């Protein structure tokens, strides 16, 4: 299994390792998965091509990386203002998402499964306070996924600096803000020293689904019991990955805020509303890009409309319980 992650990277790297270990434990020697970090055999962002071509049998990565060549792919990782982790799994497994995902990936030669979740992301680290939409004009922000296009439509200048170059770029002042992930992954980056305004909600990435990809010829060759073992190994990781992210994020958030110098900020209402409007237009354009993209968008939006009432009430209840 090739991955898009450094070996053991908290979150998706650990998820990939657990998926591999779990398959090996359940298969009792009849199937063996070896794990390779990003770049060891296949570059981080070439996983889909390598698995689809049969160069390797399996990969662990994220669908949003294929957004450039498959416009609707991001729907299988996260969409701005979209489904949260539990609703996302409900859509994929119980409301038609899995069949659409398989249809989308079939021409690329791979079978996809949900295989981990890093939870909702924060809105990012900013060098200056964002008081309104005007502050975003010309702002150079490192951001991935559909959120990049949303920020562009609000007048910001999204860039795609690799994770390792973020700190020097902030130090030099060549970028103004960084959307990374969530507290657990953000804590060790050093970002807070140079961008002390930490924003929520992360409307750009409310979900953090990882995917396992299996080459179609390797997949169809598996007997039914090993197929079930691979599928359940992935499903179990959606739960454990999410619980793990929750715990790590909590510890890291307390740590970040406890060090001083960082303030937790809410985006102003005008920014949220502007982003919501820009995202609605963007999603409509993706839906217009092909018949399959339209069906994916419609299915996703139906799932969101259907789950919204309980999502809101369950969030209120969780908030009441977490009162500190």
Residue 273 marked ligand-binding: no
Select the residue interacting with a second copy from 37, 41, 90, 262 (CB under 8 A). Answer: 90
The H or E element spanning position 309 is: helix 291-321
DSSP strand E in the chain: where? Answer: 2-3, 58-61, 110-117, 124-126, 140-142, 157-159, 177-178, 197-200, 209-215, 263-266
The answer to whether 302 contacts a second copy (rule: CB under 8 A) is no
Q: What residues from 262 to 281 belong to the interface with a second copy (CB under 8 A)?
A: 264, 272
Cα dihedral 75→78→82→84 (10° resolution) = 120
Smallest separation, CB 93 to a second copy (Å): 6
> Cβ(244)–Cβ(8) under 8 Å?
no
Smallest separation, CB 60 to a second copy (Å): 17
Select the residue interacting with a second copy from 41, 163, 239, 262 (CB under 8 A). Answer: 239
Residue 113 marked ligand-binding: no
> Cβ(177)–Cβ(138) under 8 Å?
no
Count of residues engaged in binding a second copy, rule: CB under 8 A: 68
Select the residue interacting with a second copy from 270, 284, 288, 317 (CB under 8 A). Answer: 317
Select the residue interacting with a second copy from 101, 151, 203, 300 (CB under 8 A). Answer: 203
Token pair 């090739």: residue = 2
Select the residue interacting with a second copy from 127, 235, 294, 295 (CB under 8 A). Answer: 235
Report how far apart, in Å, the C-alpha atoms of 172 and of each of 56, 166, 169, 270, 281 are: 40, 10, 5, 30, 34
Give CA–CA dist 115/46, Å, rounded. 18
Residue placing its CB nearer to a second copy in the complex, 95 or 157: 95
Residue placing its CB nearer to a second copy in the complex, 160 or 324: 324
Select the residue interacting with a second copy from 8, 45, 54, 93 (CB under 8 A). Answer: 93
Q: Are strands 58-61 and 209-215 parallel, antiparallel or unpaired?
A: antiparallel
> Cβ(71)–Cβ(286) under 8 Å?
yes
Give CA–CA dist 76/314, Å, rounded. 23
> Which residues make up the interface to a second copy (CB under 8 A)?
22, 25-29, 81-82, 84, 86-87, 89-90, 93-95, 119-120, 183, 200-203, 206, 223-225, 228-229, 232-233, 235-236, 238-240, 242-244, 246-247, 249-251, 253-254, 257, 264, 272, 306-324
Annotated binding site: 179-180
Binding positions for Na(+) are 180
């Amino acid at each position: 299994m090739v991955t898009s992650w450094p070996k053991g990277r908290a979150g998706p790297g650990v998820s990939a390792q657990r998926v591999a270990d779990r398959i090996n434990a359940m298969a009792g020697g009849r199937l063996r998965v070896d794990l390779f970090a990003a770049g060891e055999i296949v570059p981080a962002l070439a996983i889909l091509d390598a698995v689809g071509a049969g160069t390797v049998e399996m990969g662990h990565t994220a669908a949003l990386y294929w957004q450039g060549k498959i416009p609707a792919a991001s729907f299988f990782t996260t969409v701005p203002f979209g489904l949260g982790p539990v609703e996302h799994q409900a859509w994929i497994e119980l409301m038609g998402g899995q069949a659409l995902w398989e249809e989308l990936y079939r021409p690329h030669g791979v079978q996809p499964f949900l295989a981990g979740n890093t939870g909702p992301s924060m809105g990012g680290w900013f060098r200056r306070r964002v008081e309104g939409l005007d502050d975003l004009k010309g702002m150079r922000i490192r951001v991935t996924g559909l959120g990049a296009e949303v920020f562009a439509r609000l007048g910001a200048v999204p860039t795609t600096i690799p994770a390792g170059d973020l700190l020097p770029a902030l130090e030099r002042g060549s970028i103004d803000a960084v959307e990374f992930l969530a507290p657990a992954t953000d804590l060790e980056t050093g970002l807070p020293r140079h961008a002390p305004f930490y924003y929520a909600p992360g409307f750009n990435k409310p979900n953090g689904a990882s995917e396992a990809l299996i080459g179609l010829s390797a997949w169809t060759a598996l007997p039914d019991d090993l197929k079930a073992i691979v599928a359940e190994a992935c499903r179990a990781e959606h739960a454990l990955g999410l619980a793990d992210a929750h715990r790590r994020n909590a510890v890291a958030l307390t740590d970040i805020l406890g060090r001083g110098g960082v303030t937790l900020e809410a985006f102003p209402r005008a920014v949220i509303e502007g982003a919501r409007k820009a995202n609605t237009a963007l999603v409509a354009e993706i839906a217009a890009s092909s018949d399959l993209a339209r069906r994916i968008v419609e299915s996703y939006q139906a799932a969101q409309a259907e789950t919204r009432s309980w999502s809101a009430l369950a969030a209120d209840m969780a908030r009441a319980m977490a009162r500190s």
